[in-house]
Amino acid sequence: MRKFFAPLFAAMIGVSLFASAPAQAAEDPVFQSFLGTAINGYDPVAYFTEDKPVEGSSDHAYHWNGAEWHFASAENLETFKADPEKYAPQYGGYCAYAVSEGYTAKTEPDAWKIVDGKLYLNYNKDVQEKWAQDISGRIANADKNWPKVLE
């Protein structure tokens, strides 16, 4: 009896989940962590001013481009507000390698590089090494794919 009902029950659950699932929505224009903060809550200005990833604080938060950005200081917050496009990571903070390949992926704060005054983030250090083998080619491909990969 159990052998009969287990597959039937699983099928019913699958149909129920499938029937109630919404159509897949487009990706957000900015990568947000599960906490809802841009680029895992790290301060985008600090990459330029301190040459390293620095965790931001909700005490210095700013809503821009559909996401909440955190900053390590009020000064960094004001710097970002004055010119967010200059400091925000390329491709909304999604992995630059992934975007160059035509998809999106999360990023880690310590897998980063500034190229020609622009911040690029990667999934992790291993992926960053692949990206670094042809940075200009990867950027060119990612620029072609962005923002279509969000659809």
Range of the domain at 141: 39-150
Question: pLDDT digits over 16-39, tens only?
Answer: 333 333 333 467 999 998 778 999
Domain count along the chain: 1
Mean pLDDT (whole number) for 57-80: 97
Is 71 part of a structural domain of the chain? yes
Q: What predicted TM-score, i.e. pTM, was given to this entire model?
A: 0.82
Helical pair 135-145 and 125-132, crossing angle rounded to 10 deg: 100
- Range list of H helices, 21-115: 44-49, 74-82, 84-87, 96-101
Is 1 part of a structural domain of the chain? no
Is 6 part of a structural domain of the chain? no
